[in-house]
């Protein structure tokens, strides 16, 4: 089954392939929640760049510290679900400085602050991390996965899925990298309850956060959000379909961790 068919089979609330030639960026579901370019005029954003699985990606040509433009997707894609899933592909072009965070997808908050939940990547001690984040009271609940050394992660496509669940006694966040569960580090996971995405919250791609390092330089593609927790089997099916369906030369798929021993670090 083609990648797009696999995604649509799981009834996403919104699915953005970036296939059309100009903004606004079309929602491939019936939700009619298109995206528009917003924010600073610094940096640039280009659509119809080579992407994943026969679609066209977005190319954010931002210097890491200039806080360039982002895509805002209209509110209503998620409406108070009890569990939810974010999915995207990304290919970074710049390594992040240690401690910098690039917010790839965030829900809620103005200009990237105060999101209900988000997916980001950041540099820490020479490694590149993917992080799924959800605030809870005074704590920020985070699940992270080490990818590789930051110099090696560049110019590779990564499939990232973050699953958020709301059990009674502990926050649930799972991170999948290239079709496989890849939980490594967690913080504050014992606090019950997530702030649930509401119907009035916008989705932002390359969301600009409060710190200057929150701009992203690279490609984003095949973004989807779901009002349920996708199973491990379905996530693997999405990744496998994309790899089988990918006709673009040079789309090297990352996924192997660096050979160095992984170290537990505070986030």
Distance between CA atoms of residues 111 and 208, nearest Å: 5
CA distances in angstroms from 188 to 83, 123, 140, listed in the order given = 18, 20, 7
DSSP 15-39: EE---SSSSSBPPSSTT---EEEES
Q: Could you read off the pLDDT of 12-64 as tens digits, one per residue?
A: 999 998 876 667 788 999 877 888 887 765 567 777 777 887 778 888 876 54
Alpha helices (H) in 69-153, listed in sequence order = 150-153
- Which residues neighbour 187 within 8 Å (Cβ) at sequence distance 6 or greater? 140, 141, 142, 266, 267
Does the structure show a pLDDT above 50 at 259? no
Distance between CA atoms of residues 208 and 259, nearest Å: 32
Distance between CA atoms of residues 255 and 223, nearest Å: 19
Q: Could you read off the pLDDT of 172-181 as tens digits, one per residue?
A: 899 999 999 9
Domains in the chain, start-ordered, CATH in brackets?
3-245 (2.60.120.200)
Residue 241 parent element (H or E): helix 232-245
pTM: 0.87
């Amino acid at each position: 089954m083609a990648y797009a068919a696999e995604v649509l089979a799981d009834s996403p609330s919104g699915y953005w392939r970036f296939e059309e030639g100009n903004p606004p960026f079309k929602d491939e579901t019936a939700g009619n929640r298109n995206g528009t370019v917003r924010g600073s005029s610094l940096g640039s954003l280009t659509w119809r760049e080579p992407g994943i699985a026969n679609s066209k990606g977005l190319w954010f040509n931002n210097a890491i510290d200039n806080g360039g433009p982002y895509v805002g997707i209209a509110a209503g894609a998620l409406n108070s679900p009890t569990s939810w899933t974010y999915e995207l592909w990304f290919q970074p072009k710049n390594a992040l400085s240690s401690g910098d965070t690039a917010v790839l997808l965030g829900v809620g908050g103005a200009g990237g602050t105060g999101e209900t939940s988000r997916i980001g990547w950041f540099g820490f001690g020479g490694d590149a991390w993917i992080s799924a984040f959800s605030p809870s009271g005074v704590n920020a609940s985070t699940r992270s996965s080490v990818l590789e050394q930051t110099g090696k992660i560049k110019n590779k496509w990564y499939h990232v899925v973050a699953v958020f669940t709301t059990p009674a006694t502990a926050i649930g966040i799972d991170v999948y990298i290239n079709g496989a569960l890849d939980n490594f580090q967690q913080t504050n996971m014992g606090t019950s309850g997530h702030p649930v995405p509401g119907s009035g919250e916008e989705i932002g791609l390359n969301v600009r956060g409060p710190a200057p390092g929150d701009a992203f330089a690279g490609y984003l593609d095949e973004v989807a959000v779901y009002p349920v927790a996708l199973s491990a089997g379905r996530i693997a099916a999405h990744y496998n379909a994309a790899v089988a369906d990918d006709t673009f030369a040079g789309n090297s798929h990352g996924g192997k961790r660096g050979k160095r021993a992984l170290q537990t670090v505070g986030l």
